[in-house]
Amino acid sequence: MRADAQRNRERLIEVAREVFREQGYDASLDEVAKRAGVGAGTLYRHFPSREVLLDAIMQSWVDRVNESADKVLTHEGSPRDLLLAWFESYVALISLHKGGPAKITKAMGDASSPIVTKCQTLTAATDRIVERLDAEHALREHVEAVQMARLVGGVAAVADNADLDQAAVRPLLEVIADGLLVPSDARSGADAVRS
Amino acid sequence: MRADAQRNRERLIEVAREVFREQGYDASLDEVAKRAGVGAGTLYRHFPSREVLLDAIMQSWVDRVNESADKVLTHEGSPRDLLLAWFESYVALISLHKGGPAKITKAMGDASSPIVTKCQTLTAATDRIVERLDAEHALREHVEAVQMARLVGGVAAVADNADLDQAAVRPLLEVIADGLLVPSDARSGADAVRS
DNA sequence: CCAATATACGGAGAGTGTCTCCGTTTGGCA
DNA sequence: TGCCAAACGGAGACACTCTCCGTATATTGG
């Protein structure tokens, strides 16, 4: 790739990240081009669609997802706390921009989406959490990472839509956690085994 | 109102319902006007915004909500079955059109939304279910209808986004139900009292 | 039945956003 | 330095929302 093309590409990503943060995923792409000081054609040559641009923006995001999962897994606490910690991370990660949760839950099931690899990262991270909890026999039977992702994605979508703050989201996540974990009295046995 | 105005208004609602069902809530309003055989001005005079038009479309929907709640409440079965029956009705009711769940969960918290009364209908219906289950001591403490609406709305939003079918939605609703209901062994006592 | 008039209609067009096409410019190599 | 493939830019076609105002018509009182 020619040096000027490389520069423009990077600048566009940088500016787009800024604009999307300010105005949400629906922001005008021409605005992005203008603010980056390039023509609309240049933007669309590098990023044929809004989705492809989003994909590029999210490169660094993949690292954050994995870091968050790592961090959550080092937590020493009850399975419920661990699960809730991951849920809160999850919501935060997909709610970086307005409209983010909808975008991501939509792409989740769509193999042809340009950001499908990003979603896989997220699912893989969720899977690590599921495996850990499964090893502790803390989860009910037949709990899959995809379902967990859908449930928490749903909460994030509602929170994003209705402008809920973290305090309002927490109880919703607790309900989901309680629905996924084996009831507490049954679990106390498993806890005892583990410690 | 003049007779022709009345006619146009009704025709617009009818056509809009059809177009929205076909193309989702983002369908072009000019398309609605054209298909109804009126000018764009006529449409916008009757319905200054897309939201107002949606509100008009949904008049009959209010009845359906209440009917569904009535029907669910006549169910003879476990609290879990009753709750799940309502959840499925709820999802169906807000998923009548593509984009519906997002629209409704968004309006849910927004007192200035033109369809706020419709949302209240939905919340009121959910409240009836909550009261019934509360009377049976089947719900955990501090469960509010709003939270329930958000959780199920979230699932509906995901399902709508990712094109999930009913079979895929069911387990998600079960998780939420299990998270809201008191664990089964604790509940058996309450059941005994009721029967 | 016929004005007179309030009421409603229609569609051109302004504003905004997406995306393409193609003439012009430029980076990189021989 | 000179060539040319690669990249640029922005005008403009197309789509959608919403407004404005000249035109048409339903209604009503005489």
The predicted-structure confidence for A8-62, as pLDDT tens digits, reads as follows 999 999 999 999 999 998 999 999 999 999 999 999 999 999 999 999 998 889 9
pLDDT band at A194; cut points 50, 70, 90: very low
Phi-psi region at A91: left, alpha or beta (left = phi > 0; alpha = psi -120 to 50)? alpha
Q: What is the pLDDT averaged over residues A137-166?
A: 95
Per-residue model confidence (pLDDT) at position A192? 44
More confident residue, B157 or A190: B157
Q: In chain A, pLDDT over 90 holds for what percent of residues?
A: 76
- What mean pLDDT value characterizes chain A? 91
- At A71 the three-state DSSP class reads helix
Q: Which tokens sit at A52?
A: 């492809």
pLDDT value of position A191: 45
Over range A144-151, report the average pLDDT: 96
Taking CB atoms and an 8 Å cutoff, what residues of chain B touch A130?
A: none
Residues β-bridged to residue B139: B181
Which residues of A lie closer than 8 Å to B, measured between beta carbons?
102, 105-106, 108-110, 140, 142, 147, 150-151, 153-158, 161-164, 171-172, 174-180, 183-185
Mean pLDDT of all residues in A85-114: 90
For residues A126-154, average pLDDT? 96
Q: Residue B156 in contact with residue B86, Cβ under 8 Å?
A: no
- Which of the two residues, A108 and B91, has the higher pLDDT score? B91
What's the confidence (pLDDT) of residue B29?
98
> What kind and span of H or E run contains A138?
none
User: In this predicted structure, which of A65-74, A146-155, A181-190 has the lowest mean pLDDT?
Assistant: A181-190
CA of B47 to C1' of C9 (A): 15
Per-residue pLDDT at B195: 40
Rounded distance in angstroms from the CA atom of residue B7 to the C1' atom of nucleotide C8: 12
Closest CA relative to residue A157, chosen from B91, B151, B119: B151
DSSP string, B107-175: HHT-TT-TTHHHHHHHHHHHHHHHHHHHHTT-BPTT--HHHHHHHHHHHHHHHHHHT--HHHHHHHHHH
Q: Is the separation of the CB atoms in A109 and B164 below 8 Å? A: yes
Unique residue bearing structure tokens 């037949």: A142
Residue ranges in chain B whose pLDDT is less than 70: 185-195
Cα–Cα distance measured from residue B39 to residue A29, given in angstroms and rounded to the nearest whole number? 31
**How far from A156 is each of A140, A164, B118, CA to CA, in Å?**
23, 9, 23
∠A151-A22-B116 over CA atoms, to 5°?
55
